[in-house]
Amino acid sequence: MACEEAANPAAINPREMALQQLAESAERIGLEEAIHKKLAQPKRIVVVSIPTQMDDGRVEVFTGYRVQHSMERGPCKGGIRYHPDVTLDEVIALAMWMTWKTAVVNIPYGGAKGGVVCDPKSMSEGELERMTRRYTSELVEVIGPEKDIPAPDVYTNEKVMAWIMDTYSMNKGYVVPAVVTGKPLALGGSRGRSEATGRGCVFVIEEALRVKGMSPQGATMAVQGFGNAGTVTARLAEEIGFKVIAVSDSRGAVYNPDGLDVAALIEHKQQTGYVTGFAEAEEIPRDDVLTVECDVLVPAALGGVITKENAAQIRAKIIAEAANGPTTPDAQKILDENGIFVLPDILANAGGVTVSYFEWVQSLQSYFWSEEDVNRSLRNVMVQAFHDVYQRAEAAGLNMRDAALDVGVSRVAQAQRLRGIYP
């Protein structure tokens, strides 16, 4: 499944974090109270029970969520995660962050997120399919190409998207490929989608290196989380000259100051399930990957891994957040004090939703692009977004996180002003 995640150790409630960020941005940009109040609340929260027949004949009832935060700029967009630690507050926060993310890269979406409280690692494929189809059936009235378009997230993948598309289509009575993104190519998926988050992250890292007067040639990188986003980021970074010196997953971490062979490490993980045991590296404690001395640190797992307890020990020059919400507000203050340049999640990992947008457009038109066209368009969007945020940061004396939030919130607020409040 498409997961690169480790356990979430953050003490702070993710919804409180998102609301705190919104309140601070609202103060900086002088946001009207009415718009602030509206953006602080999701448009719609759906909670469903998902009775699922398990392989042994018993029925397990799972809890599923779908939160639609904003439709000011277009239909909602956001992933669905399967994880035992999914909470409603987490899903609400992720939906809010998706609203700002889509606005930062200036694509016509609002934010949504979904989740099912389950342990997919302990479930068979049949159990996952039956659960997914029932979950989708419960959401048929609130998702759709013009309403809300789900995508893969933690422990979901293109197969899960195919089940969702098929279930939705069977309920509608006709094929609706644009109801999801991140689906298989044979069902209308987009070339380049599976690598989009990591590729977009690398495009943003390249721009950060340019403005900092650094080169990727010989630069060092550590990657925390070695699922889809982490592996793609590491592999593409290596291709442009980086030495990837440390990598971790949910079990442990490996380190080689001379650089890991990323392709060999990916093959090792595919064969064994973990990065530990890789012959060409020494094993280090899992969390030590965050504090390895390097030029670029890429947190690519679950949120809340960079906290006030470990932020002072981080020795990277640049942090590129391939994960959602990996840095707590208290930790961000410490990173700022130490002069670490943070590329925030709503910018650094927006490549996934950007190519999801491209896929949605292709599915609606039944006209499909080459991978070269997809990657070229992705680079254009990510480079423009980086410079929109960087210019705001430089002009207002902000860090990149605050600047990105201000860019995103300002664009959503402007759409709200123009539309007004109905009725």
Max Cα-Cα span within the chain: 65
236 plus 311 within the same structural domain? yes
* pLDDT (0 to 100) of residue 371: 97
163 plus 62 within the same structural domain? yes
Q: Look up the domain containing 101 and give its range.
A: 30-178
Give which of 157, 159, 84, 91 is closest to 122, Cα–Cα.
Answer: 84
For 414, the token pair is 């402007």
166 plus 232 within the same structural domain? no
Provide the percentage of residues in the chain whose pLDDT is more than 90: 93
**Residue 129 — very low, low, confident or very high, per pLDDT cuts 50/70/90?**
very high
**pLDDT reading at 5 higher than 60:** no
Helix, strand, or coil (residue 180):
coil
66 plus 131 within the same structural domain? yes
User: What are φ and ψ of residue 6, in 5° steps?
Assistant: -115, 175
Contact 78, 96 (CB under 8 A): no
Give which of 171, 184, 170, 179 is closest to 147, Cα–Cα.
Answer: 179
Q: Which of 178, 212, 234 is the last residue of a domain?
A: 178
164 plus 302 within the same structural domain? no
**pLDDT reading at 222 higher than 70:** yes
User: What are φ and ψ of residue 283, in 5° steps?
Assistant: -85, 140
If you average pLDDT over residues 322-350, what whole number do you get?
Answer: 95
If you average pLDDT over residues 68-73, what whole number do you get?
Answer: 98
298 plus 329 within the same structural domain? yes
pLDDT in tens, 250-269: 899 999 999 999 999 999 99
38 plus 112 within the same structural domain? yes
Which contacts (CB < 8 Å, 24+ apart) does range 42-47 have? 42/67, 42/68, 42/69, 42/92, 42/95, 42/96, 43/68, 43/69, 43/70, 43/71, 43/76, 43/110, 44/68, 44/142, 45/88, 45/92, 46/138, 46/139, 46/142, 47/88
CB atoms inside a 10 Å sphere around CB 255: 18
Specify whether 101 is catalytic. no
* pLDDT (0 to 100) of residue 3: 38
* pLDDT (0 to 100) of residue 8: 41
Task: Give the CATH number, domain containing residue 106.
Answer: 3.40.50.10860
219 plus 131 within the same structural domain? no
147 plus 263 within the same structural domain? no
Helix, strand, or coil (residue 185):
helix
160 plus 203 within the same structural domain? no
Q: What is the pTM of this model?
A: 0.93
**Residue 236 — very low, low, confident or very high, per pLDDT cuts 50/70/90?**
very high
148 plus 237 within the same structural domain? no
User: What are φ and ψ of residue 56, in 5° steps?
Assistant: -85, 5
* pLDDT (0 to 100) of residue 397: 97
* pLDDT (0 to 100) of residue 11: 53
pLDDT in tens, 378-406: 999 999 999 999 999 999 999 999 999 99
Give a yes or no: residue 88 inside a domain. Answer: yes
Q: DSSP secondary structure string, 260-284?
A: --HHHHHHHHHHHSSSTT-TTSEEE
Return the DSSP state at 289. G
**Residue 2 — very low, low, confident or very high, per pLDDT cuts 50/70/90?**
very low
Number of domains in the chain: 2
**pLDDT reading at 10 higher than 60:** no
User: Distances in Å between the alpha carbon of 389 and those of 57, 145, 238, 369?
Assistant: 53, 29, 26, 28
158 plus 249 within the same structural domain? no
Q: CA-to-CA distance for 228 and 152, rounded, in angstroms?
A: 11
CB atoms inside a 10 Å sphere around CB 35: 18
Give which of 346, 418, 351, 355 is closest to 69, Cα–Cα.
Answer: 346
Q: CA-to-CA distance for 97 and 408, rounded, in angstroms?
A: 9
Task: Give the CATH number, domain containing residue 321.
Answer: 3.40.50.720
If you average pLDDT over residues 79-87, what whole number do you get?
Answer: 96
**pLDDT reading at 66 higher than 90:** yes
Which residues is 283 bridged to in the sheet?
Answer: 254
**pLDDT reading at 43 higher than 70:** yes
Give a yes or no: residue 74 inside a domain. Answer: yes
Catalytic residue among 77, 113, 183, 317: 113
Q: Evaluate the omega torsion of the peptide bond into residue 84 and state whether it is cis, within 30 degrees of 0.
A: no
Give a yes or no: residue 408 inside a domain. Answer: no
Q: CA-to-CA distance for 376 and 378, rounded, in angstroms?
A: 5
**pLDDT reading at 6 higher than 80:** no
Give a yes or no: residue 300 inside a domain. Answer: yes
